Amino acid sequence: MGIAFDDVLMFLFSISAAQSQTTLESLQCHFTWDLDYSKPQLYRLRDRLEDVCTDRGNRWLGHFYNLQGFIQFKLEKYEDAKRLFNKAAEVFSELRHADEGPWLVVNYGNLAWLHHHLGEDEESQAYLSKVDALMKKYPPPSQSELHPEIHAEKAWTLIYMTEEFNAAVDHFEKAARMQPDMVDWNSSYVIHLVKAQEHNTGEVEADLLEKIRAAKERDPENLYLAVLYLEQRAKKGEKVQEEVREFARNNLGSLSCSYSCMRLLLEVYKNHLSIDEAIDLAEEALKMHPDRRHLKKNAALCYRWKMLFFRDSPTRPGMKDRAISLHEELLSLYPDSQLLKKIDLATVYAKSGYKAEAEQIYQELLQDELDPADKQLLYNTYARYLYYDQHDRDGSIRYHMKAAEIPVRSCFGKGSMRVLNKIKDRGQHRMCPEIEEFLKNLQVLE
């Protein structure tokens, strides 16, 4: 019996598809880096990237568009994903002054996956061929090592999408070591080495200040490095207040266009100058660019800082009304990532004396269908609100238990566990036996 021609075609196609799948899975790109998040988390990250992406002269713009494209894919907005991936390729060409290079490997890998998902196998195969051609023309230093361009992009992606600071620093360090003429990579390595050490131990090693200074000299236009250097000197006890003020005066126009730099500078003002000066600086930046939503977010943050951590300092006229109006405005500016904005608004309401309004927000949020990570976040923040604003210790403990029993590893779950262990160790609260039993059962489950 003869084999039908159509059967042969289907057999060949199945072999091709299987080979394609294997090749796709071996690519180095966002689709193979185990980046799996819930939709609410993706919306929050998308909004954050859109704010950061406004930074003037952003040297990582190609990477931004690559990651934004991947997020849009995960949100099932495939045309937007394709547009952003193509935009990334255009930006890379502009920034690198070349039409092709190893910086396109991740981008082409993303496009190969996107077309494969859309059933466009011919286009997918075309991008796989482009990746093969690039890897042959620009091979990595060894078969066991990634290309430095891939190390750099993977590091940058891990910083934004995970808490794997140590892994990100390792990738940045390898990229910078393999290609030392790439100043951006060295600057990012130093910046995130600081962040990793602060995340791991709460402080930085003594010799790191010299690394920041050296990186700043190599990269004089990097405002974030300049602010970081001022911050670390202040932490070492240097009197840098006037230097910080002069830096802000001379660079406010550029800083206002940079989400990351402005946020860090405001933290320097809060911690080493005064919270009122931080508020004034945030308001001045907002006057320069009243339509930039990240500047409204920064101003709102400064007012919230004052209400939370500087309650003994003199109240500014109209401060509470201004804080509330800014936080209410943020809800309309971030329509797809409301949870944190609503919690922040509830915090401002509570600290302004509007406890009924704060409680209403929390009760509405507690009725929402949330993924486990967001539920843990909500339970932890509500527990703190019950303790500090409603003085309901029993209720606070119960919500810390609710947060702790959710099997999600986050700072909120860890925070609730610390509170429960602290209460248990003190042994003075009437719920201590219940807490101890709860913690024992939790350990058994783990």
Say which residues have a Cβ less than 8 Å from residue 184's Cβ, sequence separation at least 6: 59, 60, 219
- pLDDT recorded at residue 8: 38
CA 305 to the chain's CA centroid: 20
- Residue that is last in its domain, among 86, 102, 137: 137
Percent share of the chain, pLDDT over 90: 71
Mean per-residue pLDDT over the chain, rounded: 89
**Mean of pLDDT values over 418-444:** 87
Say which residues have a Cβ less than 8 Å from residue 430's Cβ, sequence separation at least 6: none
pLDDT tier at 216 (50, 70, 90 boundaries)? very high
Q: Which residues of 105-180 form beta strands (DSSP E)?
A: none
* CATH number of domain containing 59: 1.25.40.10
Say which residues have a Cβ less than 8 Å from residue 255's Cβ, sequence separation at least 6: 223, 248, 261, 262, 265, 285
Question: Does residue 380 contact residue 413 with C-beta atoms inside 8 Å?
Answer: yes
- Residue that is last in its domain, among 122, 137, 152: 137
Any domain includes 220: no
Higher pLDDT, 341 or 55: 341
Q: pLDDT tens digits, residue range 20-31?
A: 444 888 899 999
- Is the model's pTM score more than 0.75? yes
Q: pLDDT tens digits, residue range 158-173?
A: 988 887 788 999 999 9
Percent share of the chain, pLDDT over 70: 93
Any domain includes 80: yes
**CA dihedral over 269, 275, 276, 279, signed as positive or negative:** positive
Higher pLDDT, 295 or 165: 295
In angstroms, rounded to a whole number, what is the distance separating the alpha carbons of residues 258 and 53? 9
In angstroms, rounded to a whole number, what is the distance separating the alpha carbons of residues 147 and 179? 10
Q: pLDDT tens digits, residue range 8-17?
A: 334 434 444 4
**Mean of pLDDT values over 134-147:** 88
Nearest-CA neighbor of 224 among 180, 186, 262, 193? 262
Any domain includes 90: yes
**Mean of pLDDT values over 236-251:** 95
Residue type for position 99: D
- pLDDT recorded at residue 12: 39
Q: What is the number of structural domains in the chain?
A: 2
Domain encompassing residue 435 = 353-446
**Mean of pLDDT values over 328-337:** 95
By three-state DSSP, how is residue 438 classified? helix
In angstroms, rounded to a whole number, what is the distance separating the alpha carbons of residues 262 and 295? 8
Residue with tokens 């091709």: 16
- Residue that is last in its domain, among 137, 159, 189: 137
Higher pLDDT, 403 or 140: 403
- pLDDT recorded at residue 56: 53
Asked if residue 233 has pLDDT above 90, the reply is: yes
Any domain includes 94: yes
- pLDDT recorded at residue 358: 97
Any domain includes 322: no
pLDDT tier at 55 (50, 70, 90 boundaries)? low
Any domain includes 285: no
Q: pLDDT tens digits, residue range 176-190?
A: 999 999 999 999 999
Q: How many CB atoms lie within 10 A of CB 174?
A: 21
Asked if residue 445 has pLDDT above 60, the reply is: no
Question: DSSP of 73-116, one letter per residue?
Answer: HHTT-HHHHHHHHHHHHHHHHHHHTSS--GGGHHHHHHHHHHHH
Highest mean pLDDT among 140-154, 205-219, 331-345, 430-444: 331-345
> Among the listed ranges 239-248, 394-403, 404-413, which one has the minimum average pLDDT value?
404-413
Asked if residue 353 has pLDDT above 80, the reply is: yes
Helical segments of 26-77, H only:
39-52, 61-74
**Mean of pLDDT values over 263-277:** 96
Asked if residue 40 has pLDDT above 70, the reply is: yes
DSSP one-letter code for 371:
-
Q: Which residues of 131-157 are buried (b: 16+ CB within 10 A; e: fewer)?
A: beebeeebebeeeeebbbbbbbbbbbb
**Mean of pLDDT values over 420-446:** 84
Question: Does residue 377 contact residue 400 with C-beta atoms inside 8 Å?
Answer: no
Any domain includes 241: no
Any domain includes 330: no
**Mean of pLDDT values over 321-333:** 97
